[in-house]
Amino acid sequence: MPGTISYTEALREALDEELGRDERTFFMGEDVGAFGGIFGEAAGLQQKYGKERVFDTPISETFIVGGGVGAAITGLRPIVELQFADFVSVAMDEIYNKAAKWRYMHGGLFKVPLVIIAPEGAMGGAGPEHSQCPEALFWSAAGLYVLTPATPADAKGLLKSAIRDDNPVLFLPHKALGNTTGEVPEGEHLVPLGEAVVRRQGGDVTLVAWSAMVLKALEAADRLAEEGIEVEVIDPRGIRPFDFETVLRSVEKTGRVVLAHEAPLPGGPGSEVAAVIAERAIASLEAPVRRVGAPDVPVPQSAHLERFVVPQTEDIVNAVREVAGSAVTV
């Protein structure tokens, strides 16, 4: 029987279960110890597993990830946390060059079973350095997995699978989803990495949405159904590995596609997906590909202005209407 829990509770359950299952795992980061994590995701874990397995670090993102890489290649299975995903830029060399590439650079002499948790996204005016969605920066990070859970079930199942995987994983929960709730299967719950999920079936328009935009996409699909437009909503659950086959099958069925993400349009996750659709499914398209994303500006400090930058349900509704009513011209 599934139980209903919050997104944050799902993350905490995943950490708790994996720390309890495998003594090689440990969790380190800023304030993950006695404080229990900046968003409460590690509450009670240091008390349960001790200060040698759940502990605080200095404010040094380079050390946090670099130390995790070092522990991973010597046989441990570290879970490390950056308080905000924006800080991946501070630790970029350790993530992009070391964690992602070292297994290949050293001829497979060792594995890098490292999970880097880094909450992303805008949530009430945290400003341009604490609100970004940087997943698309890692489209070219060969060797690295990048996950963006949208539901409590995926938050738990993807995190547990990531901790057990031998590849380095950048795990990007969305801060604004922390209090959302949903059903999570009881008992052992794992979600395969690199498999998209069709959240809603539809035959008129394919709508691919990432992270918090998945909930807005489903809300938009409900509204559009009242107008007679049936939208197929696909959650790719991340960008690496990316399940292009599920997206392409849907595009071949509908002939129309909208890509929705919170990151800016230039260089956002939709750019690569649009390129692959153009390469592999352009003959199926009945209308130009449409993207919904933030404008090409930093996220404002003002919570009021932030709402005008972060894409809303109405933006998705308008984009789908536009695509549904247009056609490719030659």
Out of 106, 130, 261, 304, which one is annotated catalytic? Answer: 130
Can 3-184 and 197-323 be said to share one CATH topology?
yes
How confident is the model at residue 160, as a pLDDT? 98
How confident is the model at residue 330, as a pLDDT? 54
Fold classification of 197-323 (topology level): Rossmann fold (3.40.50)
Q: Which CATH number fits domain 3-184: 3.40.50.300, 3.40.50.1000, 1.10.287.130, 3.40.50.970?
A: 3.40.50.970
How confident is the model at residue 328, as a pLDDT? 61
Mean pLDDT by 10 residues, the chain (330 residues): 92 98 98 95 97 97 98 98 97 98 94 98 92 97 98 98 98 97 95 98 98 98 97 98 98 98 97 98 97 96 94 98 78
Q: Closest by alpha carbon to 138, among 166, 101, 112?
A: 101
Residue ranges per structural domain of the chain? 3-184, 197-323
How confident is the model at residue 228, as a pLDDT? 96
Active site (annotated) includes residue 130: yes
The three-state secondary structure class of 196 is coil
